[in-house]
Copies of this chain bind each other. A is one copy, B any other.
Amino acid sequence: MSSPPDPSSWATGRLLSTAARLVEHEWDAHLDRWGLNHSGFAVLRMVSGGPRSQRELAQAMQVEDQTMSRVLDRLERHGHVTRERSTTDRRRVEVTLSDTGRVAVAEAGSDDAAERLFAGAVEDLPALRAQLARVVDVLSARRWSAG
């Protein structure tokens, strides 16, 4: 008898979180084949544009440094990425895509499964994206700025 969930009556925050979790879940299932998950994959894509410092990656992903550190632990452990201290600034750690990482990101992202995930679930994808981008803009400014 347990009634099916009725999302249209939920608070907006819960709607957002639940949708995000469901998408991550499907995406993770797809990426599992390469030993990746949604966060690792996003980092890999970022690093595929050339070596990056951890701080740069953390800021790009809108995440704390400590979180990025552990995501990179996992990527390194799986051989998707290498880390070495910068020679010019020994505080920095240069994160570089490995060959297996390059293959993984290419294969996992080839058939843009990421966006096909939304097929049938979204009426107007560009509109949804625009609204979400605006939320991210406003709230991340509110969070990471001086004020």
Report which A residues bind B (CB closer than 8 A).
2, 5, 7-8, 10-27, 38, 42, 56, 59-60, 62, 114-115, 117-118, 120-125, 127-140, 142-143
What B residues does A129 contact at CB under 8 A? 8, 12, 15
Minimum CB–CB distance from A65 to chain B (whole Å) comes to: 13
What B residues does A10 contact at CB under 8 A? 133
SS of A interface (majority): helix
Closest CB pairs A-B (n = 9)? A22-B139, A121-B138, A20-B20, A7-B133, A7-B136, A15-B132, A16-B20, A19-B135, A17-B20
Minimum CB–CB distance from A125 to chain B (whole Å) comes to: 7
Question: Do A22 and B127 have beta carbons less than 8 Å apart?
Answer: no
Minimum CB–CB distance from A62 to chain B (whole Å) comes to: 5
Minimum CB–CB distance from A29 to chain B (whole Å) comes to: 10
On whether A139 and B26 interact (CB within 8 A), knowing A7-B132, A62-B18, A131-B127, the answer reads yes
